Amino acid sequence: MWPIELTRWVYRMRTENLTQRLQTTLEHLKHARELGSKLSDYAEAFGLNVKELYNGRTQLQRKGLWPKTRGSPLRSPELLAVQVTDAVAAPTDEWMCRLTGPGGWTLECRQLPDVAWLSTLSSATSKTSS
């Protein structure tokens, strides 16, 4: 990990080589972020061409000078209320875990699935249901 001063120096050296248009775009992006504003709202409020801001942002992202963002904001996970009770051994002829997906599918398991597997399944189903 680089020291903060060296990181700032490298960033300054990389931004000094930008065209005036990209330097201006970078300043607008920083200002919009500080205000917590969407880029389209920021452009409208300041009378700027939103397409030019988006194009400039893409160029800055390619140069590694602006973080890449996802197309849609991440949804926060839903929290479910649970009540913990004493564990009881499940009979071998009964299902221990039942998962129901957004498409109506059901998966029944005789034992609890591995957490990594459940995480992979959850992310795959959330991508297909969006």
Domain that holds residue 101: 97-129
**Residue pLDDT, tens place only, 40-60:** 999 999 999 999 999 999 988
Decide which of 13, 42, 62 is a domain's last residue: 62
Residue 99 to residue 120: CA distance in whole angstroms: 14
Q: Identify the pLDDT of residue 13.
A: 54
The total number of residues shown for the chain amounts to 130
Tokens 């039942």 identify what position? Answer: 98
- pLDDT: which is higher, 30 or 6: 30
Is residue 130 predicted with pLDDT exceeding 80? no
Domain boundary, last residue among 62, 78, 110: 62
In this structure, are residues 96 and 113 in contact, taking their beta carbons and an 8 Å threshold? no
Residue 68 pLDDT: 81
Region 104-117: mean pLDDT is: 79
Domain final position from 13, 39, 62: 62
Q: What is the pLDDT of residues 58-88, one digit of tens each?
A: 988 888 888 887 655 556 667 777 777 776 6
pLDDT at 22 over 70: yes
Instruction: Please report which helix (H) or strand (E) contains residue 98, including its range.
Output: strand 97-100
Q: Are residues 58 and 103 in the same domain?
A: no
pTM: 0.46
H or E element at residue 99? strand 97-100
- Based on the number of CB atoms within 10 Å of its own CB, is 112 exposed (0-12), middle (13-18) or buried (19 or more)? exposed
**Non-local CB neighbours of 79 within 8 Å, separated by 6+ positions:** none
At 40 the pLDDT is: 92
Same domain? 57 vs 107 = no
Q: Is residue 83 part of a domain?
A: no
